[in-house]
Homo-oligomer: A and B are copies of this chain.
Amino acid sequence: MLIESEFDIQFRLAVPAPMVAMLHLHPSLESQIRAGNELIVEHLDGDAKRNIATTEYHDSFGNRCTRFVAPSGTVRLSGTSTAEVDGAPDPIHASAQQAPVQDLPNEVLQFLLPSRYCQVDQFGPIAQELFGWMTPGWTRASAIRDWVHEKVTFNYSTARPTKTAMDVFTERIGVCRDFQHLAITLSRCQNIPARYVTGQLGDIRWPYSGPGDFSAWYEVWLDGRWMTMDARHNVPRVGRILMATGRDAADVAITTSFGSANLVKFYVESNEVTEDGTKIPVLGSPALQVTPV
């Protein structure tokens, strides 16, 4: 299954500001990319466009990051990419095992620690009371995801950048990043390594037909590898395309601006490309067809 995604994000700045963007597909998808995956940064002045110089680096999590200085005026970040994904909905690994902490790989240990929006050090007894009695591994990990999905209500208008897992636990309302932060925190408290993911979700617009958006989900480390979880949607989806991973949203902001930058346009869309080149909505998940949530 081919997914083509494109975005056009524009900021207006009164004074120049250095920025970092994480808008490429994740390096782990390298072999699946069929076209594109360039990030174009331009200064817009009426009809005139001028390319802005960028440099790249990989952060300590292996994410591909782009640096540039956004000039005053309007700056556009845009790109198109086509990637081949397997087209199957998120798998269910009902028998996946949770390794004892001593058997976790060294580089996975950091995903048990507290981080900015995931106060693992405040949720220990809460997580233990809710989930400590459950079978470790997939059962417990997916119960945490289900609990968050069940208890938290989605609401765009309550988004705020400083919202933590504790805020989500008490307010019970949030956007996709908030759902994942709470689920990540509860998972880590139960010694299940969990990391935050940003990416594109082809059928994010389903069941309504609104504007596209990037999405956030999370991954848990079971059976010796990272497995997809999504406390926001909580039905197996198709066409997830990973962009960046980190401990929480503080590590993988789509764009970080060191100075004031006003978002003035935000367009994201991803579609399936059929064999004859037609673009169709990504609506492949059988679960979605049957039991809309």
Binding site for B on A (CB under 8 A): 18, 20, 57, 59-61, 65, 67, 69, 100-102, 106-107, 109-110, 112-116, 119, 121-123, 125-126, 151, 157-158, 160-162, 166, 169-172, 191, 250-251, 256, 258
Contacts and interface: CB of A to CB of B under 8 A. Distances in A.
B67 A114 contact: no
A259 B161 CA distance: 30
Given A102-B18, A102-B67, A122 B258 contact: no
Contacts of A158: 160
Nearest to A250: B114
* Number of copies of this protein chain within its complex: 4
Contacts of A59: 106, 109-110
B102 A125 contact: no
Contact of A258 (B123, B166, B169, B191): B191
B162 A166 contact: no
Given A115-B115, A123-B170, 4 more contacts: A18-B100, A59-B106, A69-B102, A112-B258
Nearest to A121: B162
Contacts of A112: 258
Given A102-B67, A113-B250, A122 B191 contact: no
A155 to B, nearest CB: 11
A162 B119 contact: yes
Given A101-B18, A115-B115, A116-B119, A162 B157 contact: no
Chain A to chain B: the 10 pairs with minimum beta-carbon distance, closest first: A57-B106, A18-B102, A18-B101, A122-B170, A60-B60, A101-B258, A114-B116, A114-B250, A69-B102, A121-B162
Contacts of A67: 102, 106
Contacts of A169: 126
6 contacts: A101-B258, A112-B258, A114-B116, A115-B116, A123-B170, A162-B170
Contacts of A102: 18, 67, 69
A250 B158 CA distance: 21
A133 to B, nearest CB: 15
A187 to B, nearest CB: 14
A149 to B, nearest CB: 14
B57 A122 contact: no
A162 B116 contact: no
Contacts of A69: 102
Given A59-B110, A115-B115, A125 B172 contact: yes
A178 to B, nearest CB: 13
A113 B110 CA distance: 17
A60 B111 CA distance: 12
Contacts of A116: 113-116, 119, 121
A44 B170 CA distance: 34
A107 B57 CA distance: 9
